[in-house]
Structure 1
Amino acid sequence: MTAVTMPCGDARADRRFEPARMRRTVLQMAYAGAAVHIGCAFSITELLSVLYRNHLRYPGNDPRAEGRDYLVLSKGHGVMAQYACMHELGWLQDSHILGYFADGSELKGLSDSRVAGLEVTSGSLGHGFSVGIGIAMGLQRQRTDQKVYAIVGDGELNEGPIWEGALVAAHHRIDNLMLIVDKNGFQAMGSTDDVLALGDLSAKFVSFGFETLEVDGHDEVAIDAAIRQLWELSPGKPKALIARTVKGKGVPFMESDNRWHYTRLDAKTLADAVDALGLTGESS
């Protein structure tokens, strides 16, 4: 396993996709739609911020551009964080955010490929990664330079198809694929260690033939450096980034509290959460 090298300069020069702003968008959606899954959206916020700001390519800012890179959100229940990115890009309007789950809303509580910008229908965990492998294999055979990023939760690694997919990716030398594991330590019904202990994930993915790095999943500069370094390592190998994250990150009363997997906001907890983000009184 290779150590992450910190780059010079600031990976956050583009002020879009600021994590606090994105978390506020998630809170607005969750409150408007009386929706759950706030904690698991917050744990991937910085990962998505860096991907959309610095790595994902959408020619013409078109979510369906033929030459685009692909982001496969296999942990589809974290989709509000991706919606927040799509809002930053102008693909979603304020009306989509504030009308979340209202009658006629196009946006679902899980990733849905019928929404431009979402590549897979996911939420039935363990399957999105395999779809990402298929996309990457197709692009590889077309000899394009497009890349595929697939984000899975650590609890999702309980599913056998993840490991079958990892074998396929390594066997076919699918080196335009990067798996990103949101290792927040929890799944719906408890901690990952209590439900089904995962052991040393980095060692596992190395043994499956992946070039693998670990990173603090909330350090944007380190995430950016790790992604760049992985793409430079070992042609012919798929990549895996193990991101150590905190479920509910950004709002102290939600952090590492698994009740926020299914708890809904009320007016007070919304106000308290926005205040914790330090954005009270700022325009969106």
Structure 2
Amino acid sequence: MNSNALRQKAVQIRMDLLRIIHRAKTGHTGGSLSNTDILTSLYYRVMRIDPSNPKLPDRDRFIASKGHSVESLWCILADLGFFPKEELFTYSQFGTRLIGHPNNKVPGIEMNTGALGHGLAISVGMALASKRDGLGYRVFCLMGDGEQAEGSVWEAAMAGAHYKLDNLVGIVDRNRLQISGSTEEVMGLDPLDEKWASFGWHVVTVDGNDVDALVSAFEAVPAASGKPTLVMANTVKGKGVSFAENVPHWHHHVPSDEELDRALAELSAALESLRQEGEKG
């Protein structure tokens, strides 16, 4: 996909995730909206994956360490054909596979995740296995910024640098909000980029809602031989829905009927604008 097609796809995914959250009456809306451009860039442009063969031995791996923001991931996997798209509307219903965190009974999900602080350690093991087995796959791990307060993140960071895992990419969805407020008020993180660099990682800071910047960062891996890469993706929580952007309340707010209609109208207008831009070439 070119950049315009990626931007269009991200808008469509945002519309889908809002619909399934509204229908289920549960979900983590703000974080799923903020991470959509990251996931869209990875799944539609960067990662080596095959929905018809989800266990391909040399596939790239994605670990959603911030597993509570799973709705965007479910919508992307359905759109790509890992499972039927109509199954999306069973999200968080009784007996569904599509629960509120990644579930590895679903094709395309590598590990059950969501207990914050665990995903990077899992990813370090996978990246090390790739090196030792000579398979050459890359491992991408998406973390929340509130998650950076977990000590296990930094143990994994040390291990990733120690084993020189230049096939490992950590991504921080740096939207600066967590369930209880601003990350800097709950547990100050800055200068977060310098902390990661001091642990031996190659750090790239990008606009995490700019698909071109994200693709450039991801496609450059390995950006520094013998070093894992940390992409500091500065995002807007609630991105794409004007009245949800940077509003802490939307961390797990379920849109009302009226809010859903307003949000879909905004996103439909954005999609039409992108389509017109694409036609102009």
- TM-score with structure 2 setting the length: 0.92
State the partner residue of 2:244. Answer: 254
Task: Give the residue type in structure 2 aligned to 1:20.
Answer: V
Q: How many residues align?
A: 272
Equivalent position of 1:200 in the other structure: 191
Equivalent residue for 1:20, pick from 7, 11, 15: 11
Shift of 1:279: 5.5
Q: 1:117 is aligned with what amino acid?
A: G
Question: Is 1:73–1:150's contact at 8 Å kept on the other side of the alignment?
Answer: yes
Q: Which runs of 5+ in 2 are unaligned?
A: 273-281
Q: Is the 8 A contact 1:83 1:92 kept in 2?
A: no
Distance 2:181 2:243 in 1: 17
Are the counterparts in 2 of residues 14 and 53 from structure 1 also a CA contact under 8 Å?
no
Q: Is the counterpart of residue 278 in structure 1 residue 268 in structure 2?
A: yes
In the TM superposition, residue 278 of structure 1 has moved relative to its aligned partner by 1.9
User: Which residue of the partner structure matches residue 278 of structure 2?
Assistant: none
Counterpart for residue 233 of structure 1:
223
Structure 1 position 35 matched with structure 2 position 26: yes
Say which of 243, 255, 263 aligns to 1:265: 255
Deviations 1:3-56 (A, max 9, x none): xxxxxxx84265697111000110111011111201000111001111011111
The structural deviation recorded for 1:103 is: 2.7
1:92-129 alpha-carbon deviations (Å, 9 max, x no partner):
32321222222322101111222221112111100011
Q: Distance in 1 between matches of 2:233 and 2:2?
A: 17
TM-score by length of 1: 0.91
**1:267 aligned partner, one-letter code:** D
CA contact (8 A) 1:126 1:162 kept: yes
Q: Determine if contact 1:17/1:85 at 8 Å carries over to the other structure.
A: no
| More helix, by proportion | 2
| Structure 1 range deviating more: 64-73 or 144-153 | 64-73
Give the letter aligned to residue 82 of structure 1.
L
Write out per-residue CA displacement over residues 196-228 of structure 1, whole angstroms, 9 at most, x where no aligned residue.
Answer: 000111111111100111000011111111222
**Maintained 8 Å contact 1:213/1:241:** yes
Deviation at 1:61, TM superposition (A): 3.7
**Percent identity over the alignment?**
33
Alpha-carbon deviations, 1:150-170, whole Å to 9, x = none? Answer: 000000000000000000110
- Computed over aligned residues only, the root mean square deviation of the Cα atoms, in angstroms, reads 1.9
**Distance of aligned partners of 1:279 and 1:63 in 2 relative to their CA distance in 1, 3 Å threshold:** farther
Q: Distance in 2 between matches of 1:198 and 1:51?
A: 26
- In the alignment, what sits opposite 2:202? 211
User: Match of 1:150, SS?
Assistant: strand
SS at 2:123 equivalent: helix
| CA apart distance, 1:265 | 2.0
